[in-house]
Structure 1
């Protein structure tokens, strides 16, 4: 593993009497796609928001060791939403203007140049998600954090979102993605971190997990977090998450609605 660009060191986060994250150590290196998997309620969203700097840890520390940048970490919430009445280009022009970026460059980066003049309310769910990825990339952050970027998407668009994340890693970004889509995680991730009940169970490349635990990643996941019961939670997670709204984050200015997963 290369030197980590984002890292959590002994991080704990509590909400009142609830301990969402407990003593987690996680490194997210540049040039790799790190996938965070775990059953619903395991603390994935909390950990991602800690890494993105949207939450402060109750104990431990979160660090960034990458190059100097206008915006060090980009963040995509589970369901990005944008103000209606504006086109995709106008929407990105607002975010890009905050950090001196070019909206057309961002649209091209995620393959949305063809819908630049379409109003955001007319975009499909998958295209809206890619617009959220473009927003997260405004300011060229060296590290990006994507929370369930493929949740609820059709197979073609889900593949496209994962391909975009993998391409960012190949370009040298530090990329961390949470997902319940274990098949795509196994194909695209360089490293998988398994979280359960707020604790990090294991972190390793997919092939190493397969060799150590046996079978495909879905079987490794079941073994690591306690068997068949969590597989049902895994299967139901998208429906549960879909009921919880997010607001679109403004770089360095706006914080999405609290969602604890």
Structure 2
């Protein structure tokens, strides 16, 4: 990890009327690293992702892109990816690849779906649909890849496979932003963590740094952080 910030936020805030969904979040996302967003439901993870991608506009604060020039800056896997029925895996990736002059065979290989290239998308398992979603997110080779709950509801073997692909994405030099409740897999895969609660950034740091502060595995650390046993701190350049 070179710690080059491909993406950063400053005092990022999003309000919907009287409800503040995200409150003054400042965080960086470096290249060649997986940054895990963790927190309970309603903590602001999806709102932060939507602001990073420009799906929503901030009420206050900024999002800055500092990565290399690219045909497509961001790749995105939503929580529930869907694809047009009547097409095979290869045809689907051919469509996305054609939009940015990419090679669909490269996309297939990135996520290991070569063996099901001719299968209709409606015949894919939930895990393979997520892998297809990751493949389309890689069209155009974006420097930043954002994955929202990529392993939610999957069996352990497929979850392991998904997170293995996530590790490879970062190793290839991308900044990967990952939202997930799969804490054991996040602990193994993420280089850095950002813990959110009630729209605020509670703390950041590596999994080992957060474990050291509470003396237990990540799920215990997570519980302790949200219970207020540690204060808001900054690790690795975040505020």
Instruction: Provide TM-score, normalisation by structure 1.
Output: 0.85
**Cα-to-partner distance string for 1:223-260 (whole Å, 9 max, x where unaligned):** 11128xxxxxxxxxxxxxxxxxxxxxxxxxxxxxxxxx
- RMSD of aligned alpha carbons: 1.0
What residue number does 1:108 align with?
Answer: 109
What residue number does 2:65 align with?
Answer: 64
Output the CA distance in 2 between the equivalents of 1:111 and 1:126: 12
SS in 1 for 2:96: helix
Output the CA distance in 2 between the equivalents of 1:148 and 1:3: 25
1:91 has 2:98 as partner: no
What residue number does 1:216 align with?
Answer: 217
What residue number does 1:194 align with?
Answer: 195
SS in 1 for 2:210: helix
SS in 2 for 1:40: coil
Output the CA distance in 1 between the equivalents of 2:140 and 2:96: 9
Q: Which runs of 5+ in 1 are unaligned?
A: 228-261
Output the CA distance in 1 between the equivalents of 2:205 and 2:145: 20
What residue number does 1:139 align with?
Answer: 140
Output the CA distance in 1 between the equivalents of 2:176 and 2:212: 24
SS in 2 for 1:118: coil
How many residue pairs get aligned? The number is: 227
Output the CA distance in 2 between the equivalents of 1:59 and 1:163: 36
What residue number does 2:175 align with?
Answer: 174
**Cα-to-partner distance string for 1:66-86 (whole Å, 9 max, x where unaligned):** 110000011110010111110
What residue number does 1:152 align with?
Answer: 153
Cα distance, 1:53 vs. partner? Answer: 2.0
What residue number does 2:231 align with?
Answer: none
Output the CA distance in 1 between the equivalents of 2:88 and 2:158: 20
What residue number does 1:243 align with?
Answer: none
Output the CA distance in 1 between the equivalents of 2:146 and 2:54: 10
Q: Which runs of 5+ in 2 are unaligned?
A: 229-239
Cα distance, 1:213 vs. partner? Answer: 2.0
What residue number does 1:231 align with?
Answer: none
Instruction: Provide TM-score, normalisation by structure 2.
Output: 0.93
What residue number does 1:7 align with?
Answer: 8
Q: Structure 1 segments of 4 or more deviating over 2 A?
A: none
SS in 2 for 1:151: coil
Output the CA distance in 2 between the equivalents of 1:38 and 1:104: 36
Cα distance, 1:26 vs. partner? Answer: 1.1
**Cα-to-partner distance string for 1:144-164 (whole Å, 9 max, x where unaligned):** 000000100110111111111
What residue number does 2:30 align with?
Answer: 29
Cα distance, 1:16 vs. partner? Answer: 2.2
